[in-house]
Amino acid sequence: MNLSINIKETDILLEISVEGEIDAYTAPQLRERLFPLSEKNGVNMEINLSGVSYMDSTGLGVFVGVFKNVKANNGQFKINGLSGRLQRLFEITGLSDIIDVNSQIEGEVK
């Protein structure tokens, strides 16, 4: 399955949009693109997952690693646009208590 990663960088914000499936096959590609960005000092990173149809534990592992890097470098990290299924995945694993996540309901981010 293909994975699309679009990165838009401004002076104050790094907006990343991910589309497709995040699994053992595509997670290394995601990690390769996000980790160097997460090591910038004071980065403000927002990741939109509204285009992600499936994610397994390898995807969660990538986001935990990126989150840790961003925090270690005094940055901000947020995940937006979670479907109900992805929101539940973050809740079950307890990551929604650690990482700033927002779900997507009826096309609107809450």
Judged by DSSP in three states, 12 sits in coil
Give CA–CA dist 12/23, Å, rounded.
30
C-alpha distances out from residue 89 to 74, 84, 94, 97, Å: 26, 9, 9, 12
* pLDDT tens by residue, the chain, 110 residues: 689 999 999 888 999 999 999 999 999 999 999 999 999 999 999 999 999 999 999 999 999 999 999 999 999 999 999 999 999 999 999 999 999 998 765 444 44
Contact predicate 39/54, CB 8 Å: no
Whole-model pTM: value is 0.89
Contact predicate 109/79, CB 8 Å: no
Give CA–CA dist 100/49, Å, rounded.
13
CATH for the stretch 3-109: 3.30.750.24
